Structure 1
Amino acid sequence: MKSFQHRLLMTILAWLGILLAGLLLIIGQLFPIYAESENQMQLWIWLALIFALAMIFSAIIGYRIIKVQAMPIENVTETALELAKGNYQARAYEYSNIGTVELSSTINVLARNLQEITAVREMEQERLKTLIENMGSALIMIDRQGSVSLVNKSFMYEFELAEMDVNKKFYKEVPIPQVLQEFIERVFMMEKPAREQLAFTQGLSSRHIDVYGAPVIGEQEQWHGIVIVLHDITELKRLEQIRKDFVANVSHELRTPVTSIKGFSETLLDGAYKDPATCESFLEIIHKESNRLEMLIEDLLELSRVEQSGFKVDAHPTDMEAIIYQVREMVQKKLEDKGIELNLQLEPVIVQGDPNRLVQVMMNLLVNAMTYSPEQTVITIRLFSRGNEAIIEVEDQGIGIAKAEFSRLFERFYRVDRARSRNSGGTGLGLSIVKHLIEAHHGKVEVKSEVGKGSTFIIHLPLAS
């Protein structure tokens, strides 16, 4: 039994002992004449028996009292202690005793309510955790001491962090860009919401993020820290820049031949047509600019077609070696005019591709190589297979490309050397078309280059089954 039960039982026995002792004293006073008689021993034996029987009877009565009154209270006490420990599944026995049944049922109602509240709270916490972990934006929370209290997977991925980099670290110890640290410090010190667009360099590329920060205010206006939410807008900035460049470049590219055609035609109308030599020269220029304008429009239409979602190529087993030989015949005259040697290192390879589109790809790569290669140089084309893909390398000995320009190389109208490519009649759309056509073949295109030593474009295509 518990301490309460012990105390109750000992109290009952003590009172019964006092009662019996008093009874013995009264008997001794009522029968003093027997104090020296031979029946004295028998009297005390009978009194001892009576005392023993009374003790047994009192123990039985005490046990019944404890069972009826004390045990429900003890059970309720144990249940309350379990609830205090956080075990909300504990329940008290609901005895039929009128004095404790209400207490037991009340404790059980409290336990059920606490269990339901805990279940709801756990569910809400799980939902919140799932939302924070899987939200598209990166999130970090910093407590009032400046230590990181919460960070989601998007934030870790955004800045390539590990658990040890952020766990219980002071926010200035976390390896994040300096501009973001400064923004966090401003929000932390000012305790006011703020929003900015930040730019920083990560590796060789520039990154842009949209950052929002706000203080976390609890009940009674208590300040708990700050929360920072950021979203990567690098791709949006890149697309915005591409759009701006496209509008500017296409306007310029269209204006140049149109201006030439308009200027020379006006000159002819002003009387220059009367001079046969001048008229023929001007007409040749107008024809050349018209061809350039037509080629630009065709490339724009072609790029628009291949950029459309759902664009597919008519892929089937194709002899890539034959494709390269066909393209060589098509550009042979231009190679001879510039004194460029074409070195072919080809292996028989059958790819899964569209022959017409692959001719277009190789033509654009060869024209690009010739455009940026000096006279009397060598262009090398290699064709071989590796694993389950075909590798095509187009290597030139031209001006080369700086690594900082790699990320923009396949953008529309982007030129490494604008003057050289424009003078050669290029539209600046060839490499962009190449990229989209190769991706439509489920392949990829890479570039290796060194300024002043030339460039190598590498194409990966799937082999035919």
Structure 2
Amino acid sequence: MKRLLQTEVIRLITFTLLGALIGAFWGQPALGAAAVLLIILASHIRQLLRLAHWLKNPEQTPPEARKLWGEIFDGIYHYQRRQKTAKQQLSQLLERIQDSSQALRDGIVMIDHNGDLEWWNHAAEHILGLSPTSDRGQPITYLIRNPKFIDYYEQQNYLDPLIMSSHISEERMLEYHITLFGKNERLLLVRDCTKMQRLERMRQDFVANVSHELRTPLTVLAGYLETFSDYADELPPRWQRGLALMSQQSARMEHLVTELLTLSRLETSEFKAEATPIDMGPLLATIRTDALALSGHKHNIVLNVDEQLQLRGSINELRSAFSNLVFNAVKYTPDGSTITLSWQLDNQGAQLSVQDNGPGIDNKHLRFLTQRFYRVDDSRSSQTGGTGLGLAIVKHVMLRHQGHLDISSCIGQGSCFTCHFPASLIYTPDFI
């Protein structure tokens, strides 16, 4: 193209000089040069008009031309062909994406930056009851007016899904996932999880019922074993060992049933934070005293408590959670270890941490510790009487208090379990 442009400039100069030479025969060289320039200009204007006409009718073949204009017409024609091919490929890709989205059983809804409904698939139309004629362009919060969904939508904390009953039928449970993209646009994924929720409810009811039914026979067994223990000295040594083992395992089973019932209650009951703030100082001091009794005063348990910092919540649930953390530290650290129990403000609210200088936990176990019955070392848990439910209880207590549990550990340097509470549950009298 550069070479053609140079050729065109040389051609223009040549014809201009030729026109000036012809005009010189009549004594008007400037007039001759101007006439040639006008002829060349008219030729270019003609080609521009042909180009404009062709661009208005791109389906026609490009005009025939030579040299520079020929290259321009050919270049535009090939560019149009490439653009047309790319447009067809993009159109086919969009059709495939839409077809695949329409085929999904889960509902997909695109929400624009204003929060208005922009597009959805057939599944979303069925699950959410959307109407293509009246709902397009309407705010999503006008369609789903549940306060839980509105809070979830506006807080923009979409790490975890929202599970709640459908606004169409309360018997139907839906799971909502929201993903941010573009300029404050959102993609809403809706899944019907009614069957999974029913199965989870059945599991919870089964565990609760079995645990409740086990409590009565275990109580009877424990009572008779305690009675027999009063006459253990009169029994042969072999029977004494058997009686001691039965008493130990009976107590362990009672402890397991109690924790199963506690976990079941945490999972199934509604939580309402108590209005009266909890004085954390005496609560943690009591837990420290119980932990020292469990340890036989073989551990050094240090309290680091902000006495002015109080917490709104269920004192029984929080006592259970904090006791689990401290008692675990006592059970799984050797005698002479130091356990630090801290209650302080942090950037997001307040935190309670239980830190020890024990053997530590391998990082590969950390993300599984709050699962039911998960044990890092089965033999060690059987020796200490652990059930594998303590940290699961802590996790559910924290969820009910809008908080979360963080676990950090390093082999040979100890572990730290930190309960984070939001600022909305914090009460500091000095600042009121």
Q: Shorter-chain-normalised TM-score: which range?
A: 0.3 to 0.5
Q: TM-score, normalised by structure 2?
A: 0.46
Q: TM-score, normalised by structure 1?
A: 0.43
